[in-house]
Amino acid sequence: MIYTEKTKKALKLCFEAHKNQTDKSGMPYVFHPFHLAEQMETEETAVVALLHDVIEDTDYTLEDIRKMGLGETVVNALSLLTHDDAVEYMDYVRAIKENSVAKSVKLADLRHNSDLSRLDAVDEKALTRREKYLKAIELLEK
């Protein structure tokens, strides 16, 4: 993990935002963004990794992030990583491909979410979701 003033702010917000959430196996959700952030090589990608689901899955807004002083690069990447259900999934992934920070985080996110060993039970829904994520990885790596 890269520890800077900004990553420490992001760590605290990530924990606060996700502290009562669990993943599909009942594990504390914060382990997921922490895992992604550990893989990042820059301050900006670490901050975005920590916050990549905050806007989509909590009541925090991009304006809240902006007011924290984390920078427009972070805000722009988080905006791209926040999937609007009105946008077809692969179109959403294509937009992410154009932003190097968002792309780095999304690739780590997709790889982690494709790891079926994280699940207690692998059903048809999990296999279908994994297939979608593998296609997204392929699109981002082209």
Residues classed as catalytic: 56-57
Tell me the C-alpha distance between 23 and 13, whole Å. 18
Tell me the C-alpha distance between 25 and 82, whole Å. 23
- Under 8 Å between Cβ of 36 and 118: no
What is the separation of C-alpha 82 from the centre of its chain, rounded to a whole number of angstroms? 9
- Under 8 Å between Cβ of 103 and 81: no
Tell me the C-alpha distance between 59 and 73, whole Å. 21
